[in-house]
Amino acid sequence: MQYFIILTFFLYGLVFGSFFNVVGLRVPTKSLFNPKRSYCDTCERTLTWKELIPVWSFAVQKGRCRGCRQSISPLYPVMELTTGLLFAFTYYLTGFSPELMLGLLLISLIIPVTVSDIVYSRIPNRLLLFFSPFFILYRILYPLSPFYDSFIGAGFAFLLVLLIILLSKGGMGVGDLKYYTLFGFIFGFSHFLLLFFLSTLYGALAGGILMKMKKAGRKTKIPFGPYIGLAALTVFYFGEVIISWYLNLFL
């Protein structure tokens, strides 16, 4: 029964991942609520139901539109599969608990933000504004201990990232500031410190790999939203374990 539920979450994740990818691509261009059915962005041909099956349709069509043969972005299958795995893993770790709701909300925010930042180098305000009330409501129903830790985390995140923006003269964007502040509210002060450290570490590692592959230079602006999102998921899944390990090792 447990494996069946995990598989169900994985399949739902594939479907939602397809939607989240569309949200990430269309929200910045304000075309999310286009009255047309799903269509090819190049030839605008309406897609059949077979072409909307997550991952499978991309593989069968060899990554190309059946009509115009234009390449389909690999972001579609990657984000669909990633969302499916994250949905399943979240249920595996939390079961049917309040943490499951928080995990699914985090994934639902992080995936479209990641897509948008990769494609447009933007973290859309509309996504942050849409999800913020849900996270606020969650923290009202399931507050941190103490409850004001959410406000300390948000305030510290805002001031820290604002200072970095001012000192680096644009090294981070206002979208990163809002994204970090929301996570500061969700996770609280100590977990935000871990999140900030991990996001910086992930970004530095990715930048180093890209430079080694000659895909980026020292002055190349790399979207930071994906690393913030990855750090947030790491903290959600393993934050308590990492912090406990650190305290036992150094204190």
Sequential DSSP letters for 77-106? HHHHHHHHHHHHHHHHHH-SSHHHHHHHHH
The residue whose two tokens read 């969700």 is: 186
**Binned average pLDDT, 10 residues per bin, the chain of 251 residues:** 93 94 86 62 64 73 70 85 97 96 98 95 94 97 96 97 86 90 97 96 88 66 90 96 84 65
Q: What predicted TM-score, i.e. pTM, was given to this entire model?
A: 0.91
What's the pLDDT at 220?
65
Contacts of 251 (CB under 8 A, 6+ apart): none
How many CB atoms lie under 10 A from the CB of residue 18? 22
What's the pLDDT at 92?
96
Q: How far, in Å, are 45, 204, 238 from residue 117 at the CA level?
A: 26, 17, 25
Specify burial of residue 83 (Cβ count, 10 A radius: 0-12, 13-18, 19+). buried
What's the pLDDT at 59?
75
How many CB atoms lie under 10 A from the CB of residue 73? 16
Specify burial of residue 24 (Cβ count, 10 A radius: 0-12, 13-18, 19+). buried
First to last CA, the chain: 42
What's the pLDDT at 221?
73
Contact 236/106 with Cβ under 8 angstroms? yes
CA 240, 245, 249: angle at the middle one, nearest 5? 150
How many CB atoms lie under 10 A from the CB of residue 142? 12
What's the pLDDT at 99?
97
Q: What is the dihedral of CA 21, 25, 27, 32, to 10 degrees?
A: -80
